[in-house]
Amino acid sequence: MKRNFGACFLCLVLVGLLFSPSSGQTADEVLKKMLEAQGGPEALRSVKDLTITGSIELVLQGLNGDLTVYKKEPDKRRTDLVVMGMTITQCYDGKIAWWTNPQTGNMEEVSGEQAADLKRQALPMTANLEPAKYGLSFVLKKKESLEGKEYLVLEQTYSDGLRVMLFVDPETHFIHKMKSKIHAAGAEFDNK
């Protein structure tokens, strides 16, 4: 009787390991390690504004440009994209989303999916500390290999249904890559 119980228990443990997405880790545990890798809750709460600069390649258009993102807590964000000497600005000021129309050069209020996207981008940097408060949820998916390295995959879902796949380095717990679908010009694209 003890052998049968032991064998059944061992089988259950092995089946659990086979179907567990990431060696028994949960989405909450991976998220907590990600937040700790970023300095922890107190460090995140201490950041009041942030500026990110970089370059961007618009492959479909064959263009390269410079990108600057300004973030002011709790819910303001501005993105300036400079392409071919022209600056395109997108902004969410906590209430209204607007952008610089590249065809007219005029600032215009935006609505619909574009406004929802800008509002999402303006969420506080501490939103992942209290995901339910901001309508966020996380599910741990099975590991995926990118460029020969295996990553933890967290699926982040926003209150409006947008899903973003976060590829998390299992050693450092920094996000290596983000992947989602975006809507632009009436079409859907993969944002990799």
Q: Is the domain of 103 the same as that of 136?
A: no
Q: 36 — phi, psi (to 5°)?
A: -65, -40
Q: Is the domain of 54 the same as that of 145?
A: no
- Span 6-43, pLDDT tens digits: 444 434 333 343 344 445 789 999 999 999 999 999 99
- Span 124-134, pLDDT tens digits: 989 999 999 99
| Helix spans in 2-54 (H) | 2-19, 27-37, 40-46
Q: Is the domain of 148 the same as that of 89?
A: no
Q: Is the domain of 42 the same as that of 130?
A: yes
Structural domain that includes position 28: 23-46+126-192
Q: Is the domain of 175 the same as that of 145?
A: yes
Q: Is the domain of 96 the same as that of 188?
A: no
Mean pLDDT, the chain, rounded, equals 84
Q: Is the domain of 116 the same as that of 182?
A: no
Q: Is the domain of 42 the same as that of 64?
A: no
The answer to whether 78 and 67 have CB atoms below 8 angstroms apart is: no
In a domain, 100, yes or no: yes
Task: Report the pLDDT value the prediction gives residue 71, as an integer from 0 to 100.
Answer: 96
With bands split at pLDDT 50, 70 and 90, how would you rate the model's confidence at 182? low
The answer to whether 168 and 30 have CB atoms below 8 angstroms apart is: yes
For residue 5, pLDDT beyond 80: no
Domain count, the chain: 2
